[in-house]
Structure 1
Amino acid sequence: MTIKTRNPKESLIVNTDQVMINDLNNYNTLFGGVLMKKLDNNATLSARRHARVKECVTASTDSIDFLHPIHQTDSVCVESFVSYTGSKSMEIFCKVIAEDMISGERRMAATAFLTFVALDENKHPIKVPDLVPETEEERFLYESGKERAETRRIRRKHSQELTEIIGLEKPWEKGVEA
């Protein structure tokens, strides 16, 4: 079966929310963790839309760059789309735009790259459609995607090596004989 190609705009998800008081940290700005949840939710939908599957799993959160704080007077808009594909993985680019609801000023609050794997009904990774970028932004992200994918492979290998060195003992049981 041949998998057709898709362009990034076919996976575009846009979600805008207001900032609620319980989403604020002690600096009266949006908690980073609240934003991370919004990014993961959006990116999941972009991945599922691209692969047209029931289930996609987060393989990695490569980076989240917090550029400007988000305040309670702001709305927070998360845009996500597939920016690069491997054979079984999809890189999702997310941008976060904060808009002051009083003045109308908009600013880029954050950017992020997350990687997802599409799964079949047996929870096995499947091939995903190739990506054909169209706009200047899409082409820039796609052309730099191979380098980010290689960085992820190196980081994943390092993480696997690290798990062979670090222990699973409970800190309070170290040095205690069984």
Structure 2
Amino acid sequence: MLRTTEESQITITQLMLPSHSNFSGKIHGGYILGLMDQIAFACASKHSRNYCVTASVNKVDFLNPIEVGELVTLKASVNYTGKTSMVIGVRVESENIQTGEKKHCNSSYFTMVAKDENGKNVPVPGIILDTKNKVRRFARSIARQEQAKNRTTAFRTSEFKMELYLDSLKGQNAKIELIDTN
């Protein structure tokens, strides 16, 4: 079965309250991460028509602070579908209600896995790639998966070759003082 990405896209907007702020008066990043996880869950569950769990989150950069009193809009869309998993792209924007100024605050990619009532992985519908942008997002998800596999292999304790990385440590805020060579 195939579905369009539009069938499962979700957008939510929420007013940022003082109770959402951190000690510096900006909206707490953890609060935004929680909202991002919720919308990724909703999008993945809507697409798969199953309960979904978060398997991983790919890099979250906080690009701009969010102020108390701003509207925050989160948009989620299925970017990739595997056998039982989906990559959900989430974009966060804030809007100053008084000026109308909008800021891109962050984007991230949530890998969500569909589960049945017994907690077993279940197949998910594929997506129809009907625009160049959707093909780009799908291909980008595949590339990110490959990069993640390479990262985990190269830095496994049994595979790590320290001499390959010594040059990259030069000029860093660290000093190597090995006690043992393991």
With the shorter chain as reference, the TM-score category is: 0.7 to 0.9
Q: 1:155 to 1:52 in 2, by over 3 A?
A: farther
User: Partner residue of 2:115?
Assistant: 119
Give the alignment partner of residue 127 of structure 2, picking from 128, 131, 145. 131
Give the alignment partner of residue 59 of structure 2, picking from 35, 59, 63. 63
Give the alignment partner of residue 45 of structure 1, picking from 42, 47, 53. 42
Asked if the contact 1:73–1:102 (Cα under 8 Å) also holds between the matched residues in 2, the reply is no
* TM norm structure 2: 0.79
User: Partner residue of 2:21?
Assistant: 24
Determine what percentage of the aligned residue pairs are the same residue: 30
* TM norm structure 1: 0.81
| Count of residues in correspondence between the two structures | 158
User: Partner residue of 1:14?
Assistant: 11
1:57-90 CA distance string (max 9 Å, x none):
1000112121111101310000001111111110
Root-mean-square deviation (CA, aligned residues, Å) is: 2.0
Q: Matches of 1:13 and 1:102 in 2, distance apart?
A: 25
User: Partner residue of 1:76?
Assistant: 72
1:144 maps onto 2:133 in alignment: no
1:76-127 CA distance string (max 9 Å, x none):
0000011111111100000001000000111111101110100112211111
Asked if the contact 1:77–1:97 (Cα under 8 Å) also holds between the matched residues in 2, the reply is yes
